[in-house]
Amino acid sequence: MKMKQVISSLTLLLTMAVAGQALAAPKVVKVATDATWPPMEMVDANKNIVGFDIDFMKAVAKEGGFAVEFKNSAWDGIFAGVESGQYDAIISSVTITEERQKKYDFSLPYLDAGQILVVPKGEKAGKLAELVGKKVGAQIGTTGAFEVKKNKGVELKTYDEVGLAFEDMVAGRIGGVVCDEPTAIIYALKKKEYADKFKIVGKAFTKEAYGIVVKKGDKELLALINKGIKAVKAKKQDGAMKAQWLK
């Protein structure tokens, strides 16, 4: 009888230990990103997904107490992926807008950005509205594309990847590109093949904030992400990331 009690006690302790390990294991969050938007998210020479957003999300996950698994996803299907449960969240330079907030839940804002115009160096136009009669490129479904549409007489040409728009501008097929300021800096000023071909016109003409997207109503995950964002910012961990990726 005593032996049976010992065995039962050991079994109970083992079960509790296993259960405790299971409870301690961090939640794995599948995060989608369109890794074609340097310096925020991109694929490096070793085929790793890197960038400001990636480092920021890793820090948020650590502070929020969950693990993260990144999935490279095309922009045109990224929101449908979170709706269907294919992904748990999106971090991909997603601007928080009223229209998007009707369909998805957003984290606290984590970075300010704005749209800016890039043109060939010989272009005399000083703003987007002056490119009347010309085609201007932007990535499909982005706030950059929305801004081009607001200008009467300026024709929008959309692309699955913003890099394709810059290739078209080199070829003379479009007269400008509108994209987020950090990405414009990369293509217009830092890429050797484009540095003598493009210029940035003026300053950012919109004021936007990026947020992390989750499925509408997923309050548990949103709370974890917001907890992580607050901690990262309180500890000023994002300062080093900005210095690395955005300067």
- Residue given tokens 């990331």 in the structure block: 241
Digits of tens for pLDDT over the chain (247 positions)? Answer: 444 454 454 455 455 544 444 445 679 999 999 999 999 999 999 999 999 999 999 999 999 999 999 999 999 999 999 999 999 999 999 999 999 999 999 999 999 999 999 999 999 999 999 999 999 999 999 999 999 999 999 999 999 999 999 999 999 999 999 999 999 999 988 999 998 999 999 999 999 999 999 999 999 999 999 999 999 999 999 999 999 999 8
CA-based end-to-end distance of the chain: 72
The answer to whether domain 6-112+210-245 and domain 115-201 are alike in fold is yes
Write down the CATH number for the domain with range 6-112+210-245: 3.40.190.10
Question: What local confidence, expressed as pLDDT, does residue 112 receive?
Answer: 94
How would you class 247 by CB atoms within 10 Å of its CB: exposed for 0-12, middle for 13-18, buried for 19 or more? exposed
What is the rounded distance in angstroms from the CA atom of residue 99 to the CA atom of residue 114?
Answer: 17
**pLDDT at residue 25, rounded to an integer:** 62
Cβ atoms of residues 58 and 117 within 8 Å: no
Query: How is domain 115-201 classified at the CATH fold level?
Result: D-Maltodextrin-Binding Protein; domain 2 (3.40.190)
pTM of the model as a whole: 0.83
Q: Kindly list the domain boundaries of the chain, sorted by start residue.
A: 6-112+210-245, 115-201
d(CA 128, CA 148): 8
